[in-house]
Every structure is written in structure tokens, then in C-alpha cells.
Amino acid sequence: MERGIEHSGAWALALIFIVIASWLLYKYLAPKTWREWTGAGLIQAFIIALYAEMYGFPLTIYLLVRFFGLDRTYLNANLWSTLLGVGETGMMISMIAGYILLFLGFGIFLQGWRELYKAHQENRLATSGLYSIVRHPQYTGLFIALFGEGVVHWPTLFSVGLFPIIIYAYYRLARKEEQKTIEKFGEAYPEYKQNVPMFIPVKGKWQQLFERSNVTPN
């Protein structure tokens, strides 16, 4: 059996990526309430599990080989390339697709953060820009980025398993935030809520979401 897991064991590289990703996480999410800390903690676990397997020890592949009898002519640390038997080419395709989603999602997240910060500074409801397309563009961008990096690019048992849990946690958090927004802005928010979806843009609005996040050329 050919084994192409040469990059495994690079724990220093894993630590660097974990530190950088964690710094960005807490810098922009800045959790304050216990609900926010819960969501951030889930993402932190997602980050650690992802990069520990990507550059450290390929636990997912090991468990599939050890306990589920996974045996392929080409065994690689990338789950998709191993399961589909497409080798380095498949791993490269999943890497490129995953990074595209990661950068698109991160761009949406950052632009949503900027727009919300500006609205808070002006003590007004954020309803323009990305907020005219979805009510929580920061979380939409976060979901896209995590899906790209932890499901498409380098899926692990932990990253794939945590992804829906993270979505649910931030759905609950978004509901709580909306209640507080209604208390602050009154009837203006329910009216806005009726016209704008929560996380997923309506058909035909995805391109606008990407364009307004400054992640695609005008």
C-alpha cells in the first residue's frame, strides 16, 4: 500500500495555525456572554481538531483503517482523496475548493463585522449592505469558511461532526441577539426580519452577497 502522509508529525506547524486561527477567532467574535463563549469554544475545538489532524496525526484515517477496515491502494491523510481513491489530484482539488470557500466566507465575515460595528457606533439598526441580504452575515460567512476548511478541504471525524453543532449553537445565539435587538429598536426590527432571511440569501442574491463583501471583483 502506498502511503502519502509525509507532512504528518509537523506539530510546530499545527501549533502556528491553531494560534493564528484562534487569535482571529477571539479578535473578531469577542465573546462576552456564556452563549457567545459556548459558540466560540465549539469553533476553538473545531480549529484544534482540524489542524492537529492536518499537520499532526491523521487520527480520522487511522480510526477508519483500524476499526472500519478502510484499505485503499492509495492512502492519504485527506479523507476525500482516500475514500474516492483519487490521490494527490483529488486532494489538490479539495484543497483549492476549500480555500476558495474559506476566503469567501472570511471576507463576508469581516465585512459584516465592519458594517455592524459602524451601525453600533452610530446607534442605529444595521439594515444596509450585507445586512440587506441576510440578517446575520457574520455567521453566514463563518459557516461558509468552516465548511470550506473543515469539510471540503480537510474533513475529519471531529470537524464534520462539530460543524452542524456549531450551526445550531449560532442559530440559538442569533435568536437571542434578535430578541435584544427588538428590545432596543422596537418594531423596526420585526419589519426588517420579515423581509430579510436569517443566514441563507434568497435565490439570486448570492452574487450580491459576495460582491458587497469585497471578495469578488466589481
- For residues 171 and 27, what is the distance between their CA atoms, to the nearest angstrom? 21
pLDDT at site 186: 87
Number of H helices, E strands in the chain: 9, 2
pLDDT at 73: 54
DSSP string, 21-39: HHHHHHHHH---SHHHHHH
What the chain holds in terms of domains, given with CATH numbers, is: 2-212 (1.20.120.1630)
User: Each residue of 128-183: pLDDT tens digit?
Assistant: 999 999 999 999 999 999 999 999 988 888 888 999 999 999 999 999 999 999 99
Contact 102, 148 (CB under 8 A): yes
Taking the chain (218 residues) in consecutive chunks of 10 residues, what is each chunk's mean pLDDT?
Answer: 56 90 88 88 91 81 70 63 71 87 94 92 92 96 94 88 95 94 89 93 90 65
Return the pLDDT at 75. Answer: 59
Relative orientation angle of helices 137-147 and 157-185, to the nearest 10 degrees: 180
Distance, in Å, from the CA atom of 142 to the CA atom of 43, rounded to the nearest integer, reads 10
3-state secondary structure of 135: coil
Per the CB < 8 A criterion, the answer to whether 21 and 47 are in contact is: yes
Q: What are 75's strand-pairing partners?
A: 3
Provide the pLDDT for residue 81.
72
